[in-house]
Amino acid sequence: MMEFVHAILWPGSERIKWPRTHRDACQLAICLVFLLQLVQSNADPLPISPESTNDPVCLRDCSNARHKPLCGSDDRTYSSSCELKRVKACLGRKIKVKHKGPCVAVVELSKCELDRASAQEQMETSASDVYVAQCNEDGSYSPVQCHLSFGYCWCVNEEGKPVPGTAIRHQRPTCDAEPVNVVVVDQSLLSTPAKPAAKEGCDQTERTKFNENLRRIFRQDYERTLSSPGFDSHEDAFSQGTDIEKKAIERKFIQLDSNHDSFLQKKELTTMKRLMRRLIKPRACVKSFGDHCDLNYDEKIAQSEWLFCLGGVDDT
């Protein structure tokens, strides 16, 4: 047995006495190796607890433990529950499981994302007609911004400030920049970015004409339904007191929403776009119809976007 005693000092720790037996010496060595691994892994220097040298949990081997990452209350990621308990025992700290999975670094929000979060918070607490900024996936402002409650869309610059003279009601303006997460259907736009959108066959004037023709088709179809023998007279009476064109647009949305999730996916528009190419002009506007109505670029069209895009928003 070893009768001599030395002392070891670790930065920020208390004096640790060197054990008198080989067994205790091995226990302390294991703890010191563990602590050295923490330092070598770029972790902050952590003082070892003198009481942990005799704690069996601190000496536990977690190398064969099932790999299930956990985020501790100290914002460190642990490979398993075993590892978290071992660190807790060795360091003498009160560490709890914050959540399952690795710790997620705090991401700084962009100006657009901050504006959007602030507006969404206002909507939850009070007003429902608050303007909510639309952001690209990289956090920048989408070139087209819309206020669905008031029925206006406008172009903005990189700082999110409106471009004078671009605001338009019940339509989506053609802006110079394309958001980074939008898939451009016409590949020629990619090779000639400076080419005006009007050259592609669906400028603002043609889009307005296209929407008028589309609303007319929807209304005619709805009027035929109202006059059909099997139509519910109660629904007929209700329709007389509403804007029939708006009702026709709403009804068409419900018909196209085959999975009843209150959104129109691209595949749900396929059949209608085939009919559009045959019946509605200008035909060049058919190709970009889905993207044009997807105001927030989430690859689906909500009913509010559908009404807004087709000019079915109330004037109030």
Please count the other Cβ atoms lying within 10 Å of the Cβ belonging to residue 207: 22
Residue 301, strand partner residues: 264
Q: What is the pLDDT of residue 254?
A: 92
* C-alpha separations of 10 from 13, 35, 38, 86, 200 in Å: 5, 10, 13, 19, 72
Highest mean pLDDT, choosing among 45-54, 105-114, 155-164, 202-211: 155-164
CA distances from 33 to 19, 48, 83, 88 (A): 16, 11, 15, 16
pLDDT in tens, 259-298: 999 899 988 988 888 888 887 877 778 888 888 787 766 7
Q: Which two tokens stand for residue 22?
A: 């080989």
Determine the average pLDDT of the residues in 214-218: 88
Distances (CA, A) of 174 to 144, 165, 216, 311: 8, 12, 24, 16
More confident residue, 231 or 42: 231
| Residue 78 one-letter amino acid | Y
pLDDT tens digits, one per residue of 148-186: 766 788 899 998 888 877 878 777 888 875 443 333 333
Cβ(294)–Cβ(263) under 8 Å? no
pLDDT average, residue stretch 15-19: 47
Percent of the chain, pLDDT > 90?
6
* 38 pLDDT higher than 60: no
Residue-level pLDDT at 20:
54
What pLDDT does 112 receive? 92
- Which tokens sit at 166? 């671009």
The answer to whether residue 314 scores a pLDDT higher than 50 is: no
Residue scoring higher pLDDT (39 or 301): 301
3-class DSSP string for the chain: CCCCCCEECCCCCCCEECCCCHHHHHHHHHHHHHHHHHHHCCCCCCCCCHHHHHCCCCCCCCCCCCCCCEEECCCCEECCHHHHHHHHHHHCCCCCEEEECCCCCCCCCCHHHHHHHHHHHHHHHCCCCCCCCCECCCCCECCEEEECCCCEEEEECCCCCECCCCCEECCCCCCCCCCCCCCCCCCHHHHCCCCCHHHHCCCHHHHHHHHHHHHHHHHHHHHHHHHCCCCCHHHHHHHHCCCHHHHHHHHHHHHHCCCCCCEECHHHHHHHHHHHHHHCCCCHHHHCHHHHHCCCCCCCEEHHHHHHHCCCCCCC
Residue 129: band (very low, low, confident or very high) from pLDDT cuts 50, 70, 90? low
Predicted local confidence at residue 52, as pLDDT: 53
Mean pLDDT, the chain, whole residue set:
72
Q: Which residues are bridge partners to 100 per DSSP?
A: 70
Residue 270, burial from CB neighbour count under 10 angstroms (0-12, 13-18, 19+): exposed
Q: How far apart are CA 222 and CA 224, in angstroms?
A: 5
Rg of the chain over all Cα atoms, to the nearest angstrom: 32
Q: What percent of the chain has pLDDT over 70?
A: 65
